[in-house]
């Protein structure tokens, strides 16, 4: 297989770990900032297949990463489910109406809103170098639901956590709708040309153990099973941020092929507790990349040393910061690749 990243995700350890970075297509790149200014906003950029394909390919053209990640957003699914999605200047995304005050049944589904994403995938798949793996993604149900219920992001997801305790039937209906839509969304990404997908669960760490089983493990397992029924052999990365000691249970019970580790996880511990041979991805602290110099070299070396025998995809523990210097990304690539 002439795609090192895809081979690693399928369980074949590579002599040099393949590398891509979460949010690698984004605000730290001057070419991205210029195109976003031209388009006038995030949603306009993400729903223009020509522009979104260009953004997806920009970091491949500049750095030669082993993987390209589709330029889009985890809130495309609630947008397709009928909530209005906006990205205001200087603020996070907003979804209206918030489901904490409105019934899910009142939403009018708009699946055609996802059509530009599939067109973007087809364009990128035709443009990438033959050795580059193309990654699609979606948000995991719990994380997506926190935005759908509250209408925006929050530090502790308290509104959604309380809603799930207060009315688990209504909240379960939201989760079920996200699961079904996400299966179709990821399957159509694969059918259009992506070669692996990642499930982002940015807020998975905010739940108690029982709630974690119910709202993180079970829905992600349903997505994995449903996607494999639709697309046999689908390659799936799970990225459950902040779950700490729940990581082995997530790995065993969701059925994902590979696990993304956030920066708070001791990679040597992860290597010891995860199933033998399971590929891992991560987990350099994005702030070490921002700092550069000896701190960056030391962080890279610690991650590389933690997985002596396990298939490993080098990545950050979360998204690259928008003020990260280009030279530090170049330093990272040279260190990982031994240049």
Residues above pLDDT 70, as percent of the chain: 99
Verify whether residue 23 is a known catalytic residue.
Answer: yes
Q: How far apart are CA 212 and CA 210, in angstroms?
A: 5
Verify whether residue 147 is a known catalytic residue.
Answer: yes
Supply 239's token pair.
Answer: 């990225």
pLDDT tens digits, 260-312 = 999 999 999 999 999 999 999 999 999 999 999 999 999 999 999 999 999 99
Check 28, 36, 94, 271 and give the catalytic one.
36
Spatial CB neighbours of 141, under 8 Å, sequence gap ≥ 6: 175, 178, 179, 182, 215, 219, 220, 223
Check 48, 73, 176, 184 and give the catalytic one.
73
Verify whether residue 94 is a known catalytic residue.
Answer: no
pLDDT tens digits, 113-156 = 999 999 999 999 999 999 999 999 999 999 999 999 999 988 88
Tell me what pLDDT residue 180 has: 98
Check 23, 94, 161, 188 and give the catalytic one.
23
* 3-state SS class at 122: helix
pLDDT tens digits, 64-114 = 999 999 999 999 999 999 999 998 776 789 999 999 988 899 899 999 999
Q: How far apart are CA 292 and CA 299, in angstroms?
A: 10
Dihedral sign (CA 306, 308, 313, 314): positive
Q: Which CATH code of 3.30.360.10, 3.40.50.300, 3.20.20.210, 1.10.10.10 fits the domain covering 4-337? A: 3.20.20.210
| CB-CB contact of 145 with 160 (8 Å) | yes
Verify whether residue 36 is a known catalytic residue.
Answer: yes
pTM for this prediction: 0.96
Per-domain residue ranges of the chain:
4-337
Check 32, 118, 147, 185 and give the catalytic one.
147
| Radius of gyration for the alpha carbons in the chain, expressed in angstroms and rounded | 19
Verify whether residue 337 is a known catalytic residue.
Answer: no
């Amino acid at each position: 297989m002439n795609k090192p990243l895809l081979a690693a995700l399928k369980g074949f350890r590579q002599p040099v770990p393949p590398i891509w970075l979460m949010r690698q297509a984004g605000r730290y790149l001057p070419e991205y900032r210029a195109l976003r200014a031209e388009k006038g906003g995030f949603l306009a950029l993400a729903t223009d297949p020509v522009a979104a394909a260009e953004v997806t390919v920009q970091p491949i053209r500049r750095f030669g990463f082993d993987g390209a990640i589709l330029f889009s957003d985890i809130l495309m699914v609630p947008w397709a489910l009928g909530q209005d999605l906006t990205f205001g200047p200087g603020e996070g995304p907003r979804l209206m109406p918030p489901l904490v005050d409105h019934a899910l049944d009142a939403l009018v589904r708009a699946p055609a809103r996802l059509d530009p994403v599939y067109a973007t995938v087809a364009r990128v798949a035709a443009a990438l170098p033959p050795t580059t793996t193309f990654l699609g993604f979606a948000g995991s149900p719990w994380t997506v639901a926190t935005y759908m219920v509250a209408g925006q992001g929050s530090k502790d997801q308290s509104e959604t956590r309380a809603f799930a305790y207060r009315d688990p039937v209504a909240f379960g209906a939201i989760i079920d709708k996200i699961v079904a839509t996400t299966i179709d969304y990821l399957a159509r990404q694969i059918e259009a040309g992506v070669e692996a997908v990642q499930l982002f669960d940015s807020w998975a760490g905010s739940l108690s153990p029982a709630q974690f089983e119910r709202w993180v493990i079970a829905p992600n397992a349903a997505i994995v099973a449903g996607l494999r029924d639709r697309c046999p052999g689908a390659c799936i990365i799970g990225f459950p941020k902040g779950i700490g000691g729940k990581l082995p249970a997530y790995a065993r019970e969701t059925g994902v092929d590979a696990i993304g580790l956030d920066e708070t996880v001791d990679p040597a511990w992860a290597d010891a507790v995860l199933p033998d041979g399971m590929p891992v991805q991560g987990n350099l602290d994005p702030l070490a990349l921002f700092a550069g110099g000896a701190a960056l070299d030391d962080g890279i070396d610690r991650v590389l040393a933690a997985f002596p025998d396990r298939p490993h995809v080098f990545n950050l523990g979360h998204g690259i910061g928008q003020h990260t210097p280009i030279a530090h990304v170049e330093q990272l690539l040279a260190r990982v690749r031994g240049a």
